[in-house]
Amino acid sequence: MSAVGIDDETAAGPTRPESRKPRRLALAGLLLPVLLAILWEVLVRAGIANGRLMPPPSVVGKTLWGLAASGELLTHAFATLWRVAAGFGLGAGVGTLLGALTGALPVARGLLDPTLQALRSIPSIAWVPLFILWFGIFEASKVALIAVGVFFPVYLGVAAAILGIDRKIIEVGRVFRLGRVAMVRRVLLPAILPAWFTALRSGLGLGFMFVVAAEIMGASEGLGYLLVDGQQLGRPDTIIAAIISFAVLGKLADALLLALTRPFLAWQDLGRAKL
Amino acid sequence: MLRFETLSKTYADGTQALSRIEVEVAAGEILALVGGSGCGKTTLLRLIAGLDQPSAGRIVLNGDTIGEPRADVGVIFQEPRLFPWLSVADNIAFGLSHLSAFEREGLVTNALVRVGLAGYEKRWPRELSGGQQQRVAIARALITRPKLLLMDEPFSALDATTRASLHGHLLALWEESRPTVVMVTHDVEEAVTLADRIIVMQPKPGRVFDELDNPLARPRDRLSPAFEALKRDALRTLDRSLRDEAPLQNKAAETAGMWW
């Protein structure tokens, strides 16, 4: 479910100097998809394969270009991005707040955590009918669904990060007689920063998952609408174009978040720079 | 300067970590606590640091009862415990937030020279070796000029060469302001190298078994017969404490005869 790539884990190893090798490997990773695309194009053109249900890359590319040129793609992408941004802001904000609360205060943990854990086990899509009744069929219900999706990984990540802060480093703060505020600002906050950023990335990934669900459920614009539209008109090329757009947007949003947070994590002993 | 009065510590699970400790430490003295595992050395140090509270008795520092961490007490832990998100300079200056940036910079530069890390200001802790990190921790604890310095096996994770060079750095820094030092160690040679007095502790419950004075003048030659004899003496006492025998009664006379 997590949007954080496997690279994160493998990159944590102590291999720093060889930064050229992974890049070459990343290029190697392109080999298979490009070869398959070329193969499919050739097969369809030669008339060996039928390109109706699985259009060849040239057709998808043409559709994508058409959508972009007419400005339609931009409209849909903007609608989707707006929903993700709103839902992510809401879910991440509340998730961070409640996560900090339950992580820091045992009372809050005892009161809130069991309920939140119970709510977490509800598949988020199950909320859709209720949200539509509550918030109507327009933007509010979609944003709410995305916010729910974003909330849980952020909440869990922040709470776990606070609980996991090394007691030893807190003791150093105590030896230097930091007050409550100074302890939070100078020790606790920096200590949870990496875990918080990772939680935000997971949340963002889930935000993109739920925006698709929300838009398939009923929307007049957005990339998810494009998916449904392609299905109803029997246009697999439109569907694939929308899927590709989702992938590009998701990756870009993740890269943006990473770029924004990276300066704060320069001290980390990780191979993050490679991502 | 520092006095333990019938100091006892019993943990919530009923473990009696310390029982009626009575020790007095003079100003400027370096006191080493040695003993087998579970004898309460680290517990004692945490009580002095004000990180834990005694169950009975009290610790008096210059007339005040210690109940919480104090500005004039510095602590060096077994691990460097640097803040990974702060540069070396910011780590060292952690306890100096009340000073201006200019004053801090001067003190930090000076401290880095003292621990042999000049030019490392901008490095991250992860870029340093274990020995270098511990040197930063020493500088961080000493830069506030504490009157009492507590060290919990600060060199135990380091190799012998690094340890010896850090002993030198530490003594050089100590010479400057002569703080009182209480250090926990499991390394008898380290205790004989650094301490004026060695207290051997015994477990279950943690208590003072015996103490040895170290009259050797600094710098101490580890290869001298006198050093060797003292080390052997300390090892023998430690051995006896582990086998739960009574301390040697005529020990004081014996050492007196050897050194005076």
Chain A: closest CA distance from residue B129 (Å) = 13
Instruction: Name the burial class of residue B129, with classes exposed (0-12), middle (13-18) and buried (19+) by CB atoms within 10 angstroms of its CB.
Output: exposed
Provide mean pLDDT across the span B112-124: 89
Q: Which residue of B has its CA nearest to A192?
A: B85
Interface of B to A at Cβ within 8 Å reads 49, 51, 68-71, 73-75, 77, 79, 81, 83-87, 94-95, 97, 124-126
Residue B88, classed as helix, strand or coil, is: helix
Provide mean pLDDT across the span B228-235: 91
Asked if the Cβ–Cβ distance from A176 to B85 is below 8 Å, we say: no
Share of chain A above pLDDT 90, in %: 57
Residue B257 reports pLDDT greater than 50: no
Q: What is the CATH number of domain A60-274?
A: 1.10.3720.10
Chain A: closest CA distance from residue B51 (Å) = 8
Residue B180 reports pLDDT greater than 50: yes
Residue A275 reports pLDDT greater than 50: no
Residue B253 reports pLDDT greater than 70: no
pLDDT for the residue numbered A10: 39
pTM for the predicted model, two decimal places: 0.79
State CA A258 to chain mean position distance: 11
Per DSSP bridges, beta strands B207-213 and B197-202 are antiparallel
Chain B: closest CA distance from residue A273 (Å) = 15
Residue A122 reports pLDDT greater than 60: yes
DSSP state of B57: E
State CA B161 to chain mean position distance: 19
- Where helices occur in A121-186 by DSSP H, the ranges are 128-135, 139-163, 167-175, 180-183
- Name the residue among A99, A78, A214 with its Cα closest to residue A147: A214
Asked if the Cβ–Cβ distance from A267 to B71 is below 8 Å, we say: no
Chain B: closest CA distance from residue A271 (Å) = 13
Residues of A in contact with B126 (CB under 8 A): 267-269
Residues of B in contact with A266 (CB under 8 A): 124
Residues B108 and A196: beta-carbon distance below 8 Å: no
A103-116 pLDDT, tens digit per residue, is: 888 899 999 999 99
User: Taking the C-alpha atoms of A124, A125, A131 and A135 in order, what is their torsion angle to the nearest 10 degrees?
Assistant: 100
Asked if the Cβ–Cβ distance from B124 to A174 is below 8 Å, we say: no
Asked if the Cβ–Cβ distance from A268 to B86 is below 8 Å, we say: no
Residue B230 reports pLDDT greater than 70: yes
Provide mean pLDDT across the span B214-229: 88
Q: CA A7, A8, A10: angle at the middle one, nearest 5?
A: 60
Residue B65, classed as helix, strand or coil, is: strand
Residues A203 and A4: beta-carbon distance below 8 Å: no
Residue B252 reports pLDDT greater than 70: no
Chain B: closest CA distance from residue A186 (Å) = 9
- Number of CB atoms found within 10 A of residue A240's CB: 20
Average pLDDT, chain A: 86
Alpha-carbon distances of A156 from A89, A196, A253, B11, B237, rounded to whole Å = 16, 10, 21, 32, 53
Per-residue confidence band for A46, with pLDDT thresholds at 50, 70 and 90: confident
> Which site among A165, A172, A178 would you substitute to test the B interface, given the most B Cβ atoms closer than 10 Å to its Cβ?
A172
Cα-only R_g, chain B: 19
Residues A217 and A270: beta-carbon distance below 8 Å: no
Asked if the Cβ–Cβ distance from A172 to B51 is below 8 Å, we say: no
Q: Which residue of A has its CA nearest to B86?
A: A267
- Number of CB atoms found within 10 A of residue A2's CB: 14
Q: Provide the ipTM.
A: 0.85
pLDDT for the residue numbered B60: 92
User: Residues with Cβ < 8 Å from B201, sequence gap 6 or more?
Assistant: B33, B34, B35, B39, B40, B41, B44, B207, B208, B209, B241
A161-213 pLDDT, tens digit per residue, is: 999 999 999 999 999 999 889 999 999 999 999 999 999 999 999 999 999 99
For residue B210, list its beta bridge partners: B200
Alpha-carbon distances of A260 from A87, A267, B115, rounded to whole Å = 19, 15, 36
Asked if the Cβ–Cβ distance from B125 to A267 is below 8 Å, we say: yes
